[in-house]
Structure 1
Amino acid sequence: MISKWLFSGAALFELSSFAALLDNLSTVEATLLYVSAHGLASVMLSAGVWLLLPRRYKFPLPWSPLVLFSLAFFIPILGTLGVILAVFPALYLPRRAKPQVLNSMDVPELPFRAQELGRDLMFNDGGLQDVLRHAPSPERRTMALMATRRMNGKDSIPILKLALRDPADDVRLLAYSMLDQQESQINQRIEKTLNQLQTAPQAQHSALHSTLARWYWELAYMGLAQGSVLEHVLNQAREHVERGLSLGAGDDMHLLAARIAMEQGLLEEARSHLSAAKAAGLAQEKIAPFKAEIAFLQGRYDEVPLYLSQLSSEALARPPFGALARYWL
């Protein structure tokens, strides 16, 4: 009922606004009278239309009625007709609902991703992380953690660390226990080797220092050490690998020393160790990937394809070198 009165008032004011232009008045008086009458008509029309709009179109305020007012006020005649022709047919002649062409289905249980069939299907890294992030059942997330027992340490560590933020206490405790178990095993080997180093004859010191360097590097490589602990572990690995090399350790120790130096950001030192490894007869295929990485980090991009081309075709077909070969070669 209110809308009808508003529409009637809007029509009267709009007609009176045109009458002002036809009356024998001065330009200023005619303009003021027209703008006032047209403005009131626009306000009443906007209010009447706004009251008839569905609730979802009425908000947010004041923008919804302001749009209607702007169309009616700033476009004389055509604006008013436009608002009426745009709103009323939509209100009283709504579009018929189209038949539903899609069948709604329940959300499938996560993880839901296409996977290639293979021997290690259930231990896919991405799949297990999806389970930990999205599976609603704590039992399923626990099963995902148990599946990491069949994975190598470097691949399982990120999954276990992700589980440390799980909302379920049982999942967090299991993840912490599995991480602690892996770290404890390495620390026990380090402690055992340190005890052997104290009593072993001098001839065995080279091999023992090499073993200690490998286990300290394993802590860093697997991601079990972080922050200041990681810095300490890398320093210990570097110290033992240098002692092992000074005592005549195997040529592969140069490669390990290069990897430790790269992790510490000592790229020139890493290059020296790789050169020493090459001079000692270590296979070029083992050295080339690290030389390519150092060249990339130092901005010598023209040398990257040179080092990658030294790898065999079989190596370049396997990840991660396949993607690198397609880009650089």
Structure 2
Amino acid sequence: MISKWLFSGALVLEAGSWASLWLDAPQVHQLLVFTFSHGFACLMLCAAVWLLLPARYRKPLPWSPLFIFSLAFFVPVIGTLGVVAAIFPALYLPRKRDKQAWQAVGIPSLPYRAQAQLHKPVFADGGLQDVLRHAPDPDQRLSALLATRRMPGKEAVPILKLALADPSDDVRLLAYSMLDKQESDINLHIQMALEQLVDVNSRTAGPVHSMLARWYWELAYLGLAQGSVLEHVLNQASEHAELGLAAGEGGELFLLAGRIALERGENERAEVLLRLAEENGMGSAQVLPFRAELAFEAGRYHEIPGLLASLPEKTRQRPPFAELVRSWNE
């Protein structure tokens, strides 16, 4: 109803604006009357048209109504007629919609999608490190990181450290979180063992010292400690190993103490401990590889082939000893 009154008022004012041009009056007065009458007519027409527009065409304000007003005001007669001729057919004679060209159906039972097939395997022949270095797809590098969860820590940690330099934020964050979890788990075990150590006496402290030596050694062995932290960890591992041995622990602890001494460069001490490990029941398959490493560190290369040959047959046939035996016998 409001739009009808606005249209009617706009029509009367527009007609009056043109009639004013034939008044017996100075041209300035005619121009002023025409301008004001035409302007009010365009305002009323703009308001009427804007109210009839669908909601989505009324915005943005003020540009939508200003566009309609500009068309009507700056193009006299033709502009007003053009606005009416453009708006009313579109409002009252909308275009018919085409019939629905598709039919909705229910989701078929699985499987209803083809599984994506990779042209190349996720992990190349060179191993996970080559995937991290050369795979262009970040998802492929993430899969390589996730695969390290099934690997021994000694093999997984170097791969995770390599991923810390990856250009993808997701790969770096995942590698850091996996490394941090391993280190946090070991530190938690150390903290629990230290708390146990407070409640035991000198006679029953042997197993706790042995446990602490193993967990400190694990930090060094996995490569989670470096620099001065590594030196501190090895010192703690050696100290607790010595305290455990003094409390009566033996066997595996002799071997662990020998490995710690070997890592610290204490070759003479390592040799004594490895011999004591054999005398306390440790098998040759467990001790001989470290005796061979000790001979290498001490420069006694002539002893290495004989030590490797003394390994049990099954041990010599599996990696990494198979390659070592073949290399030293060539």
Deviations 1:140-177 (Å, cap 9, x if unpaired)? 21122112112121111011101100111111111111
Given residue 191 of structure 1, which amino acid in structure 2 is its aligned partner? Q
Query: For the residues of structure 1 that align with 2:157 and 2:124, how far apart are their CA atoms?
Result: 22
Does 2:323 correspond to 1:320?
A: no
Moved more, 272-281 or 190-199: 272-281
Given residue 162 of structure 1, which amino acid in structure 2 is its aligned partner? L
Moved more, 141-150 or 313-322: 141-150
2:221 aligned residue = 221
Bigger CA radius of gyration:
2
Query: For the residues of structure 1 that align with 2:133 and 2:203, how far apart are their CA atoms?
Result: 52
Given residue 208 of structure 2, which amino acid in structure 1 is its aligned partner? L
Query: For the residues of structure 2 that align with 1:327 and 1:156, how far apart are their CA atoms?
Result: 26
Given residue 311 of structure 2, which amino acid in structure 1 is its aligned partner? L
Is residue 250–residue 280 contact of structure 2 (8 Å, CA) maintained in 1? no
Q: List gaps (5 residues or longer) in structure 1.
A: 1-107, 115-125
Report the TM-score, using the length of structure 2 for normalisation: 0.61
Does 2:134 correspond to 1:131?
A: no
2:269 aligned residue = 269
Change (3 A) 1:228 1:185: same
Query: For the residues of structure 2 that align with 1:269 and 1:112, how far apart are their CA atoms?
Result: 43
Residue 278 of structure 1, CA deviation = 2.0
Given residue 320 of structure 1, which amino acid in structure 2 is its aligned partner? P
Query: For the residues of structure 2 that align with 1:133 and 1:275, how far apart are their CA atoms?
Result: 43
Residue 282 of structure 1, CA deviation = 2.0
1:152 aligned residue = 152
Does 2:285 correspond to 1:285?
A: yes
Residue 225 of structure 1, CA deviation = 0.5
Q: List gaps (5 residues or longer) in structure 2.
A: 1-118
Deviations 1:255-290 (Å, cap 9, x if unpaired)? 101100111111111001011112223222221111
Given residue 244 of structure 1, which amino acid in structure 2 is its aligned partner? G
Query: For the residues of structure 2 that align with 1:302 and 1:150, how far apart are their CA atoms?
Result: 38
Query: For the residues of structure 2 that align with 1:135 and 1:326, how far apart are their CA atoms?
Result: 33
Moved more, 197-206 or 256-265: 197-206
2:302 aligned residue = 302
Change (3 A) 1:308 1:194: same
Change (3 A) 1:109 1:317: closer
Residue 250 of structure 1, CA deviation = 2.4
Change (3 A) 1:199 1:317: same
Change (3 A) 1:263 1:187: same
Query: For the residues of structure 1 that align with 2:258 and 2:303, how far apart are their CA atoms?
Result: 18
Query: For the residues of structure 2 that align with 1:306 and 1:140, how far apart are their CA atoms?
Result: 44
Residue 109 of structure 1, CA deviation = 5.9
Is residue 110–residue 130 contact of structure 1 (8 Å, CA) maintained in 2? no
Is residue 111–residue 127 contact of structure 1 (8 Å, CA) maintained in 2? no
Is residue 210–residue 244 contact of structure 2 (8 Å, CA) maintained in 1? yes
* Equivalent residues, number: 211
* Local SS of the residue matching 1:328: helix
Residue 111 of structure 1, CA deviation = 6.2
Is residue 254–residue 277 contact of structure 2 (8 Å, CA) maintained in 1? yes
Residue 306 of structure 1, CA deviation = 2.1
Is residue 278–residue 284 contact of structure 1 (8 Å, CA) maintained in 2? yes
Given residue 146 of structure 2, which amino acid in structure 1 is its aligned partner? M
2:178 aligned residue = 178
2:253 aligned residue = 253
Is residue 124–residue 130 contact of structure 2 (8 Å, CA) maintained in 1? no
Residue 311 of structure 1, CA deviation = 0.8
1:67 aligned residue = none
Query: For the residues of structure 1 that align with 2:308 and 2:140, how far apart are their CA atoms?
Result: 42
Deviations 1:270-327 (Å, cap 9, x if unpaired)? 0010111122232222211111111122121221122122211111111111112123
Query: For the residues of structure 2 that align with 1:167 and 1:159, how far apart are their CA atoms?
Result: 15
Query: For the residues of structure 2 that align with 1:281 and 1:150, how far apart are their CA atoms?
Result: 32
Query: For the residues of structure 1 that align with 2:123 and 2:283, how far apart are their CA atoms?
Result: 43
* Local SS of the residue matching 1:272: helix
Give the fraction of aligned pairs with identical amino acids, expressed as a percent. Answer: 57
* Local SS of the residue matching 1:204: coil
Change (3 A) 1:258 1:274: same
